[in-house]
Amino acid sequence: MSAPLLEIRNATKVYGGGFLRTSPVTVALQDYSLTIDAAPATITTIAGESGSGKTTLANVVLGFTELSSGQILYKGTDISTMDKQRLMDYRREVQAVFQDPYAVYNPFYRVKHIFDIVIKNFKMAASKSEARELIENALNVVGMRGEEVLEKYPHQLSGGQRQRMMVARAYLLKPRLIVADEPVSMVDASLRAMILDIMLRLRDEQGISFLYITHDLSTAYQIGDRIHLLYQGQTAERGDTVQVIENPKHPYVQLLINSIPVPDPKIKWGGDSLTSIDDEQMRGNVSSGCRFYPRCPYGMDRCLQQHPPLYTVGAGQHEAACYLYDEQANLPAAKKMAVPA
Ligand code: SF4
């Protein structure tokens, strides 16, 4: 059996603290694990509110920041131990599409510059005509033509055009994985549908997997194969997307989904309505118990002692990190009755 495409093992990222302990400690990601198989290509959603750790996760996968502990393996090799050539392959095969495409463009260059740089850095073409053909092919995949856009400056393109060009730029390198960090949160509904459709086509026709980072459950429901819901840097629940969203098990995920009665892309999870000061205190402590305890209606003493592991709660590797699903535990009768349906 071939190694997974991407494997994250017990990833932890802690900010602050340090030798003199002058800045507050924030555990952005704790003991997080994920596996994306080599085939078939899939869309794995990482969903959560602001501060849930999902952007930290994107940053560590893309190599923008280092883990405090744990491992990220690509095709079986730890990215922190890769030699120069393998690291170059990794940077080519794992591409990114960000929330704000405008920030990626240099306003002083025509937009074709973003493609020229990639072709030059990765020595992809021996001539200008070969380079142009590669760029045209990539633009065609996202429904664009070079003559319409390449000679323009970034401000002359619409937000949707800029975002589609970023997807084309990622596609140019024939990646195996695209980390898409909130790629549709700044575009309108029709462009959102178009970009989500492009992602599905890239998965199905080009065999490209996605790590789709979002706060938006409705788009996750539309395109995601599997979903990981993060709460304060830890997995609260994960599994098949439809199963998790239609039949959530973790008290936090139930609260989230119940707070969005009809999936609506206009409803965001942002803000701090589900985060309390107690939550923040829990978050500064790497050894604390369940971070959802301060808000959980089912909290038990043991929830404070140690963070719960992931328990199987349904078919298809549907798992929730909650002691309510520990079948071995001798829970008080009242608590057993309180297990959510
Ligand atoms: Fe609530 Fe305990 Fe489950 Fe955490 S482990 S969600 S505190 S019941």
**Token pair 């405090």 in the structure block, residue:** 68
Q: What is the pLDDT of residue 160?
A: 85
CA-CA distance, 164 to 32, in Å (whole number)?
Answer: 31
Q: Which of 310, 319, 324, 331 to mutate to test the pocket of ligand 1 (most atoms within 8 A of CB)?
A: 324
**Token pair 């078919």 in the structure block, residue:** 315
The DSSP code sequence of 9-45 is EEEEEEEEETTTT-EEEEEEEEEEEEEE-SSS--EEE
Q: Give the atom of ligand 1 at the shortest distance from the alpha carbon of 302.
A: 2
For the chain, the structural domain boundaries read 248-341
CA of 59 to the centre of ligand 1 (A): 29
Instruction: Determine which residue's CA is closest to atom 6 belonging to ligand 1.
Output: 322
Q: What is the pLDDT of residue 274?
A: 46
Q: What is the pLDDT of residue 272?
A: 39
**How confident is the chain (341 residues) per 10-residue block, as mean pLDDT?**
93 80 80 96 94 92 94 96 94 91 81 92 93 95 92 89 92 96 84 92 96 93 96 96 96 89 49 44 62 93 94 94 84 49 60
Q: 3-state DSSP call for residue 333? A: helix
Q: What is the pLDDT of residue 21?
A: 60
pTM tops 0.85: yes
CA of 291 to the centre of ligand 1 (A): 8
DSSP classification of residue 153: -
Q: Give the atom of ligand 1 at the shortest distance from the alpha carbon of 304.
A: 7
Q: Give the atom of ligand 1 at the shortest distance from the alpha carbon of 290.
A: 4
CA-CA distance, 159 to 103, in Å (whole number)?
Answer: 11
Q: Among 21, 13, 23, 24, which Cα is nearest to 52's?
A: 13
